[in-house]
Structure 1
Amino acid sequence: MKCDLDGNVAWTIICNFLMFEYYGKVDELKSIIRYDTDVKCLVDNIWYFYSGDRMFMLKTLRHIFENVSDKEHIFHEQFDSFMKSIDINFLWKNLVKMFDNLINEIDRDKVVAISSETIPRWIHRNNREQVEVVMLLIHAIQYCKLDGKELEDMLVLFIRHGFARHPLYHDSTTISKPKDLLEVKCAKSAVF
């Protein structure tokens, strides 16, 4: 599984995985690394950890956006302080880049390079992240001003995405969970 990560980020993820998620013994890990026994399982576990961590971050950010204006919320002050401290335009650009990467993440060339049992989980995770990123884009646009070029680029990205109508990996629509496809398609309604 290719995560398209910078080496330093990958190293941090591996270290965090080993500190917080790996429950095996040190000798077992040495054996896995030294003799390539069950490395695929280790890589899959690191990938699940990484993608789960990304989803947690997206959902946390969405929760903040959805509750920042609720003055009765127990964490209103913290949410408000957080929103004032971030560069919303920088966040917007990163969300757009993330959405573009998610759209292009699964294609025929990448799918043939991984095991068939991994594909459904990969597609499911990708669909879930797409929904979260679209929801974050909807929330973020309320706080930033887009120029004509940024808006045009966003619309082109949405048109290219097609909201599950024409993915890069054609079989992903048949492999996807129906609920995920429905939510991806419903995200289109929220955008337009």
Structure 2
Amino acid sequence: MAFEKETVQSNVESVPILSPVKLAHVVFRSTRLQEMVQFYQKLLGAHVAFQNNMAAFLAYDDEHHRIGILAVPEGLFANQPSIVPTIDHVAFTYNNLDDLAISYEQRKAAGLKPVWCVNHGSTTSMYYDDPDGNKVEMQVDNFETMEEAFAFTNSEAFHINPIGTDFDPDEFVQRVRSGEDHRLIKKRVEIGPRKFPGVS
């Protein structure tokens, strides 16, 4: 079957948006956490960078994780249909906080606002929903080296709270532009244990 070539006009082309520098990772939700971990270990030759009963992060190159798997307890999605085994989100990386702030303001001017802004510890991240409800993460790495990132994901603070601490995006932009040391902005505020958003 041949498909006819179509020319589609888009008004998005007139809105400048700073593009990320790379695709960072994909995160799945699953009721079979350990089976998924073993599958992606075999499929990608990956190792487990972090795992507890809530989540696992797998790495195989210079990224702190390329595959994330969030545990969905059996039967949870029967009561909360928005939480089902599926792809949870795809993440893109920016070089620095300045670029993340610029891209946030550009998207905001284009009518796109994040649904969740969180400092995971290893990254400073803003999440957006696409028209189908898929989450897209825009992030900056908080550590200079992968060794530092791996050390954080193996720390007691991360085991207590592997999710992170929320932040206000406009306040974030103000801090970035104020001349404050970016290392301080990247440092996660510890708030103790918390659940994933949407899980009651």
TM-score of the superposition, structure 1-length normalised? Answer: 0.29
Structure number with the bigger relative contact order (C-alpha 8 A, sep ≥ 6) is 1
TM-score of the superposition, structure 2-length normalised? Answer: 0.29
More helix by percentage = 1
More strand by percentage = 2
Give the structure with higher Rg (CA).
1
